[in-house]
Structure 1
Amino acid sequence: MATFKEFLRVAEITVKDKTSGKRMKEIRQILAKHHAMSGLTPEKAVAILEDLGPTYVKIGQIASNRSDLLPKGYCDAFEKLRADVPPMPFDTVVECLETSFDASWQTVFSSIEEKPLGSASIAQVHKATLHDGTVVAVKVRRPGIAQEMAEDITLIKHLIALAEFSNMAPDNLMLTIDDLVSELERTTAEELDFTIELENLKRFHEEIKDQQGVTSPLPYPEYSTDRVLVMEYVTGTLLDNKKRLQDLGKNLPAIGERIAQSYVTQVIDDGFFHADPHPGNIMVNDDGIVWIDLGMTGTLTSSERAIVGKVFRGVALNDPYALKEALLSLAKADGPVDHGMLLEQMGGMLDTYASADLSDINIGMAFVDVIEILRTQNLSLPPSFTMLARGFLTLEGVLTDIAPSINVVDIVSVHVKKQMWTLSYLEGKAQELFTSTAASAEAMATLPSQLSRTLDMLDRGQLKVAMDMKLPHDVKGTLYQVASLLALALISAGLFVGSSIVCTTPMQPQIFDVPLLGALGYLGAFVLGVYVIVRAVAIRHQQVNDEKIK
């Protein structure tokens, strides 16, 4: 049954929802078409998003990177969504350009091709030429898409509140959905602002400049705005056109090796990586590979990169404690954490990987497994780490298709070992050593006074110790049984001793020259003694035969 709080939430969102009733009617029809009220599955969710339109498809694609918030089945299903949509009319593109430049498009470009190079839910790309003859790619944001996506997110909030109210979605999905929607709002806001992608392009191009045979389009900031992004026009064949690459005589294993080396360098060495490395975002030409579409990137600080290294080393050394400590230094707790159970889960996962061949280990899947374990303990990792997990998962899928012999684990291991001898890493370790040494010295200096105060409190009776032992029900039941038998044995012994004392007196009434009270006491002691012995033998029998103690 829905709670009053859930009812109020639905009412609040309904009041704030200013979208048209027509759109709500369309959504209701789509939900009815897919029988959403009878239950929601990953496959059904994908079909609903596709029918709702390109904005919802884009939201589903973004959601596929949040395996810390959504169950793995939903993330895998959402990853299959595609956001290709019919292109905007060229007149609309021209209007968008002139509105953005506040001038005629001819003031910037000498020509623009009417046929788009590609069209997606947020923007479409056209080939154009600057007045100096430079060929560029122009990415134009669809008009009204920002407002449309904001309204659609509000509608999603409304639908989620209704789903929670009517209990039509799984509980594990509902528990994390608020965090997901907040993340969607942040991510879509970034994707809609092309100045952010412009900065991503600039930084990414600078970071990979030393990677041989790897590049990305250069942006043109002087011609770009928040709604128009002008960048270098690159030619080549997309990686998803495998047959074309084979016809051109490209060495696919060599391409796969270069892609893997580049991606691991981005993550481990640079801490700035392409968050969506699917085949449609990687181009191959005579110069090597070109990373395109930098709308979604991930960032790791130097300390986070060091922790990623610790995670990999924990897996490599089969050390569940090191893995647990590394992850806890990053994770955010949203509820109680059973540290013993978490350590046991980490150990179980590592045992699985320890029995597998190195070439069979999938880093992306290992990351996803870790995230799933953390979710069971009310722990979540920063978005950059969940993006990293999905990134590796996507990358390894690409390599399986074009170069299955490449072992990403080996490449990561080499980069992690190399990083251990860099100046920044050694400085970090020295700082950690200094900090821990200083903390230990301070603790040692205060230990005598703390111990003295503790003993003083103990002497005065001011010290209290509280314990909370969480034991399984079977163990508790056994302890209760033993305690009960012990109490009955003491009562039996007490009756026997007491009866013996009574029998030495001339207490009346008597039976066979023995005080009646003493005789009854002996009888009670005998009965209790026999019962205790029988129960003790029965418990021992159940224990030896591994039976449940009753």
Structure 2
Amino acid sequence: MATFEEFMKVAEISLKDKTSHARMNEIVRIMRQYKVLHGLTPAQAVEVLQALGPTYVKIGQLASNRSDLLPKAYCDAFEKLRDDANPMPFDVVIEQIDRAYGKSWHEVFASIDPVPLGAASIAQVHKATLLDGTTVAVKVRRPGVAESMAEDIMLMKHLLALGEFASNSHRSILLSLEGFVEEIERTTASEVNFTSELHNLMRFHDELADEEGVTSPVAYPQYSCESVLVMEFVQGTEISHTEELRQQGIDVNALARRVCQSYVTQVLDDGFFHADPHPGNILIRDGNVVWIDLGMVGTLTVSERMLVGKVFTAVATDNAYLLKEAVMGLVHVLGPVDHGALLEALSRLLAEYSTAEMKEINVGTVLTEVIEVLRGQNMMMTSSVTMLARGFVTIEGVIAQVAPDISVIEIVSKHVIAQQADPKFLATQLIDLATTSAASAEALAKLPTQLSNTLEMLDRGQIKVNGDIEVSSRILATAYASVGRISLATLSAGLFLGSSILCTTAMQPQLLGVPLLGVLGYVGAFVLGAYTVFHILVSRHRLLNNEEPR
């Protein structure tokens, strides 16, 4: 039965939702137009997502990284959704820029190239020149896209709230979908607001300053706002164009290793990483790596970075206990957890990789499988870790395409080992050890008092012990059958005794001088007794012959 909290949640969303009905009709119309119920080819699926709008294009982009859930043909097709969008007319672009600045674009730019460098579902990018002659890239948001995506997300929330209200079954699936919708809402909110991407660009550029041969575009905050972003123009070669890179005299193996090392550094050292590292977002300029498009980034706290490092160490060393300890700090617990079953599941997962060579282990796949194990135990990984898992799946795909012999897990393992020897890491470990030791000492000091109080309560009979014993279904079935036969035997004996008493009376009607009701009682007692004895003999025969009961 639905709870009052679920009822209030549906009521609150219904009051806020003013557009879902019209949007739902539009979605149904598009579904019918493309005959979705008859099945879709990968190309048709891309067309449907594009027709549904930017929110569903974003879902397709996220789905393109989930080769563990979708066939490869669909993942490859969804890759086209990243940059393969119909461009805005140039006059619309100019209109958006003028509206954002509140003045003519001529007061900011000397020129803007009418041919876009790239067009996506949320925005498109044009090459431009500032008044001082600096060449820049201008990212312009499509009109109405923020409102459209907000409507779609509200519709998804409404449907999920109704699903939770209507039924308690499949609760784990609903929670997973709710987490997915929350992630979509969070990522789209930052992507449609270019102020977030501006801050990401500035921070990312500063974080990469210490990495040799790795950088990102310089941002121009004085010319940027919520719907227009101005940044350094980067002209380079996509990392996936390996032949072109070789013609430029670049060692693609060394390049792939540098990209991978940079990504691991972002995750484990900076705690601020590119969440969409597909080939189009990694350009090579003069032999240097340039990370572009910081619309989607992930963040990890210091403690999360340490726990993620433990996860990598556990996978590399086949340590299920360390893996369980690490993941427990990275989850939201949604219900009861069977820790024994969790440890067993993680042990089985590691056993699958223990016989594989190091270079055959995919970090992203391992993280994704760990997330699935946790989901089966009423736990959900934090959004930053799920984003990290997708990021590693993507970057491993890039590395496999550029330099198949490079092992990401080896680079991760070496980085974790080197990090443990770093003075900053050691200081953090020492602080953690000191805190743990202080807590342990405090608990040890309280132990005698707690033990004395426990013994006193036990002496007074104030302690209760609750037990939860699981009995197999076969034992329960046997118990139920035994109780049933005892009941039948008792009923047969009761009928026999009752009939015997009736036969001593002159109750009418009679049959051959014996009360008819007594005769019927004797017959019933005989039938029940014979039935009970027959079943007991059959059960004994099956038990002696080791036959399954039916």
TM-score of the pair, normalised by structure 1: 0.79
Q: For residues 27-426 of structure 1, what are the structure 2 equivalents within 5 Å?
A: 27-33=27-33, 48-62=48-62, 72-73=69-70, 80=79, 82-83=81-82, 84-158=84-158, 173-426=173-426
| Cα distance in 2, alignment partners of residues 325 and 20 from structure 1 | 43
8 Å CA contact 2:201–2:218 kept in 1: the answer is: yes
2:473 is aligned to 473
Structural RMSD (CA): 3.9
Aligned to 1:208, the other structure's residue is in SS state helix
Instruction: Report the equivalent of 1:518.
Output: none
- Indicate the residue corresponding to 2:458 in structure 1: 458
Identity of aligned residues (%): 52
Say which SS state the counterpart of residue 154 (structure 1) adopts.
helix
Q: Secondary structure at the match of 2:313?
A: helix
Q: Distance in 2 between matches of 1:333 and 1:76?
A: 35
Distance 2:353 2:149 in 1: 42
SS in 2 for 1:176: helix
One-letter amino acid matched to 1:105: W
Question: Partners in 2 of 1:208 and 1:401 — Cα distance?
Answer: 24
**Is this contact kept in 1: 2:60–2:81, CA < 8 A?**
no
2:172, 2:378 within 8 Å by CA — same for their partners in 1?
Answer: no
Structure 1 residue 64: Cα displacement: 6.4
Q: Unpaired runs of 5+ in structure 1? A: 485-530
Cα distance, 1:482–1:457 mapped onto 2, change above 3 Å: farther
Q: 1:377 offset after TM fit, Å?
A: 0.7
Q: How far 1:74 sits from its partner (Å)?
A: 9.5
Segments of structure 2 that go 5 or more residues without pairing to the other structure are 485-534
**Higher relative contact order, structure no. (Cα contacts within 8 Å, ≥ 6 residues apart):** 1
Compare 364-373 and 437-446 and name the one that shifted more.
437-446
Report if the CA contact (8 A) 2:46-2:81 is conserved.
no
- AA partner of residue 153 (structure 2): I
3-state secondary structure, aligned to 2:210? coil
CA positional deviation for 1:472: 3.0
1:215 & 1:135 partners in 2: Cα distance? 18
Deviates more, 1:179-188 or 1:374-383: 179-188
Matched-pair contact (CA < 8 Å) for 2:365–2:389: yes
SS at match of 1:149: helix
Q: CA 1:171 to 1:329, structure 2 compared with 1: closer, same or farther past 3 Å? A: closer
The letter of the residue matching 1:223 is Y
Shift of 1:470: 2.3
Q: CA deviation at 1:356?
A: 0.7
- Shift in CA distance, 2/302, structure 1 to aligned 2, threshold 3 Å: closer
Q: Report the CA distance shift for 1:259/1:369 in structure 2 as closer, same or farther (over 3 A).
A: same
Tell me the CA shift for residue 410 of structure 1. 1.1
Q: CA distance change for structure 1 residues 445 and 41 in 2, over 3 Å: closer, same or farther?
A: farther
Distance 1:94 1:330, change over 3 A: same
TM-score (norm 2): 0.79
From the superposition, tell whether residues 435 and 2 of structure 1 become closer, same or farther in structure 2 (CA, over 3 Å).
closer
Question: Distance in 1 between the 2:72 and 2:12 partners?
Answer: 29
Residue 279 of structure 1 and its aligned partner are, at CA, apart by 0.5
Tell whether the 8 Å contact from 1:125 to 1:140 is kept in structure 2 after alignment: yes
Q: Secondary structure of 2:235's match?
A: coil
Residues 548, 463 of structure 1: alpha-carbon distance in 2 compared, 3 angstrom cutoff: farther
CA contact (8 A) 1:63 1:75 kept: no
- The answer to whether the Cα contact below 8 Å between 2:324 and 2:343 also exists between their aligned partners in 1 is yes
Asked whether the equivalents of residues 275 and 387 of structure 1 are also in contact (C-alpha less than 8 Å), the reply is: yes
Gap change, CA 1:46 and 1:348, over 3 Å in 2: farther
CA separation of 1:468/1:2 partners in 2, compared to 1, >3 Å: closer, same or farther? closer
Q: Please list the CA deviations of residues 393-427 of structure 1 after superposition, one character each: whole Å capped at 9, or x if unmatched.
A: 11111111110000111111111011111223222
How far does residue 55 in structure 1 lie from its aligned partner after superposition? 3.5
Cα deviations across residues 182-238 of structure 1 (Å, max 9, x unaligned)?
322222111111111111111111111122211110001111111111111111112
Q: For residue 86 of structure 1, report the CA deviation from its aligned partner.
A: 1.5
Tell me how far apart the structure 2 counterparts of residues 40 and 165 of structure 1 sit (CA, whole Å): 31
Q: Give the letter aligned to residue 195 of structure 2.
A: T
Greater displacement, 239-248 / 332-341: 239-248
Whole-angstrom CA distance in 2 between matches of 1:391 and 1:237: 21
Distance between the aligned counterparts of 2:43 and 2:164, measured in 1? Answer: 19
Q: Does the aligned pair in 2 maintain the 1:9–1:161 contact within 8 Å?
A: yes
| Counterpart contact for 1:64–1:74, Cα < 8 Å | no
